[in-house]
Structure 1
Amino acid sequence: MNPIRGYLQLIRLPNLFTAAADVLAGTAVAAAAGSGGDEAALLGLVLSSLCLYAGGVALNDWVDRNRDARESPHRPIPSGAVSARAALRLALFLLAVGTMAAGAAALVLSSPTTAITAACLIASILFYNLAAKNRFFGPAVMGLCRCLNWLFAMSPAAAVWTPWHWALPVGMGIYITGISWFARQETAVSSRFYPALGWSHWVVGIAVFGVFGMAYENVAVDRWRWAALLGLITLWLTVRTLWAIQDPQPRRVQLVVTQAILAVVVLDAAAVFVVAGPVRAIPVLALILPAGWLGRWLYST
């Protein structure tokens, strides 16, 4: 692995498009609620989310460097493409830039909620990597990070949130928790228990996510279209899960995990679809194209 590819792999470049999709979807929901920011605020929110995500996964590889040397020697640090010291420096730099971008967005928006949510997100990223990741509650903390990323994007509309708005970040958090459980043993022949547990979280997470479109008053499309779209996503994930459980080899499990990560973009686009219609949803959905293309050369898990 050459150094450039090593660094791109370290930050999970394909996955960054899912973090951007979260922010674009969250800000679209905020705008539909009547409280949006200007372009500078949106840029700050997107930049912060990207840097915090990239810094978090780089820190993850630094924390796991000894285990990866045994189980995944192809990863950037054990392969020698990126030194452990350089990976740590990059992680800290990205987390710092993400923190500053979040602070700038909070100032532009004059939103204490944005600043508080960003602080909680940063704390959760650090807690996951430094304390929780190898514990039984690690997947839930990872889900919390994604939930907070959505809340961070929605924060401009905090004053007008309804109870139904919470279904989106909470549902996405449960869904990401499922991805973490599904990938729990991805480097070896997986126990069928973990993919099944991950799938159950996906179903529950999508169902909670769907509550928003079924209960929120100001939807832009027929509710049956929203329900049908989420039903198709659930069916597709179920078929892929059964394929992985049939023969839970690392390659199959990792492939399904990658596809589930890409489905985050589809769910985010669905959220935009229900509040703003298909035209606004298309740019968000289009993020799946570079994510999928880059995923041919850079792994996502």
Structure 2
Amino acid sequence: MRAGDLAELVRLPAALTVPGDAWSGAAHAGGSGRAWAMPASSVLLYWSGMALNDWADRDLDARERPERPIPSGRVPAQQALAVALGLGAGGLAMSALVGGPRALRVSAPLAGLVGLYDVVAKESALGPVVMAGTRGLDVLLGASTGDDVAAAWAPAVAGTAHTVALTALSRGEVHGSTALAACLAAATTGAVAAFGVVGALRDTAAPPHHRAAGALLSIGYAAVVGRAQLAVATSPDAATVRRATGAGIAGFPLLQSSWLARRGRWGAVAAVLGARPALRAASRRMSTT
């Protein structure tokens, strides 16, 4: 297996959207100095899920996406499964190393949801909800390094809702979607943004400039993601859906940064937002979905 094929199998650049989950959870839970390292666990679990996704979809991809690593013959199916299991085990071990048993109690069900989605729930009505649960738990994984995990419920809910809309709409990437699905996704995006704006402006634990930054980033998130979703409402073909899905993935850093800004985690904000140009550049050469 070549390095480039492995990178494509795990959707290497898409992992740039992951660290902000754990960091935003840690920021709101009062995470300790260990919190900066928790995204290593999140990224490994994310890559594991992507490899497992392609292993589970290998027969479907042979018909609909024959260019992917497994159906094209560049990565044998058993090697893909081994990669998925190895990365998953590595993610669990890393969470225990960084956060101890408390973090493992979050990462274990997170890994379970990843496997449940890829192998069982993906095509079911509950598929988007199961996928969204992985993002919510990822926020709580970061929060597990802090003293007040309950304080991270708001960013966890926001990430979960965004992922429901993103995953539901992405189901039309091959055959197209509908105007109704696009409008529902855009409405969810608007609700998540409004939740962020109102929450930021009312956040008495944050100084005014932190609140303003959080609100502005929430508005930016709505503009980037919502505009692409509304485009699907007028043109629900597969290509437009794929662009909206890409915009939804690229919207994660804006959403995460809005929560990080409210707690003054400017280094994390810079890192998360700085990943967006790299994600756009990488997505021109390799699919992130």
- With structure 1 as the length reference, what TM-score do the two structures score? 0.88
Is 1:9 matched up with 2:8?
A: yes
The counterpart of 2:32, out of the listed 17, 33, 36, is 36
> For residue 142 of structure 1, what is the amino acid of its counterpart?
M
Give the alignment partner of residue 138 of structure 1, picking from 115, 127, 148.
127
Aligned position for 1:120: 109
Task: Using the TM superposition, give the Cα deviation of residue 23 of structure 1 relative to its aligned residue in structure 2, in angstroms.
Answer: 2.4
The aligned amino acid for 1:141 is V
1:73-99 deviation per Cα after TM superposition (whole angstroms, max 9, x unaligned): 111111112111111111011001111
CA-CA distance at 1:102 after TM superposition: 1.1
Change (3 A) 1:211 1:115: farther
For the 8 Å contact 1:272–1:281, the answer to whether it is kept is yes
Q: C-alpha root-mean-square deviation of aligned residues, in Å?
A: 2.1
Supply the distance in 2 between the matched residues of 1:97 and 1:162 (Cα, whole angstroms): 27
| Structure 1: 5+ residue stretches without partners | none
Is 1:84 equivalent to 2:80 in the alignment? no
CA deviation after TM superposition for structure 1 residue 276, in Å: 0.5
**Aligned mate of 2:169, from 182, 185, 201:** 182
Report how far residue 171 of structure 1 moved: 0.9
Alignment map for 1:15-30 (pairs within 5 Å): 15-30=14-29
* Distance in 1 between residues matched to 2:288 and 2:211, nearest whole Å: 33
CA distance in 2, matches of 1:210, 1:133: 32
Q: Is 1:195 aligned to 2:189, yes or no?
A: no
- For 1:215 and 1:141, the matched residues in 2 are separated by 31
Note the alpha carbon deviations across 1:30-86, whole angstroms, 9 max, x for none: 4xx3x4133xx632x122111100001110111111111111111111111211111
1:297–1:217 Cα change, 3 Å? same
SS at match of 2:27: helix
CA distance, structure 2, for counterparts of residue 153 and residue 90 of structure 1: 24
The answer to whether the 8 A contact 1:183-1:195 is kept is no
Q: TM-score by structure 2 length?
A: 0.91
Partner of 1:56: 49
2:237 aligned partner: 249
1:238 to 2:226 alignment: yes
Instruction: Name the CA distance, whole Å, in 2 between partners of 1:122 and 1:46.
Output: 14
Q: Distance in 1 between matches of 2:33 and 2:73?
A: 43
* Structure-2 residue corresponding to 1:269: 257
Tell me the residue number matched to 2:66: 73
Residue 50 of structure 2 aligns with an amino acid whose one-letter code is V
User: How far apart, CA to CA, are the structure 2 residues paired with 1:226 and 1:292?
Assistant: 23
1:205 has 2:172 as partner: no
Write the distance in 2 (CA, Å) between the matches of 1:209 and 1:222: 13
Structure 1 stretches of at least 4 aligned residues deviating more than 4 Å after TM superposition: 209-212, 277-280
The 1-side partners of 2:85 and 2:288 are apart by 21
CA deviations on 1:180-208 (whole Å, 9 max, x unpaired) are 01111211132223222322322233334
Matched, 1:147 2:125: no
The superposition leaves residues 139-166 of structure 1 with CA deviations (integer Å, 9 ceiling, x where unpaired) of: 0110000000011011122x32455x31
Aligned position for 1:296: 284
CA distance in 1, matches of 2:93, 2:229: 40
2:86 is aligned, of 74, 93, 96, to 93
Distance 1:119 1:207, change over 3 A: farther
Asked if structure 2 preserves the Cα contact closer than 8 Å seen for 1:183 and 1:194, the reply is no
Q: 1:286 aligns with which of 260, 274, 279?
A: 274
Percent sequence identity over aligned pairs: 27
**Which letter maps to 1:216?**
D
Q: CA deviation at 1:273?
A: 1.3
Q: Which amino acid aligns with 2:95?
A: A
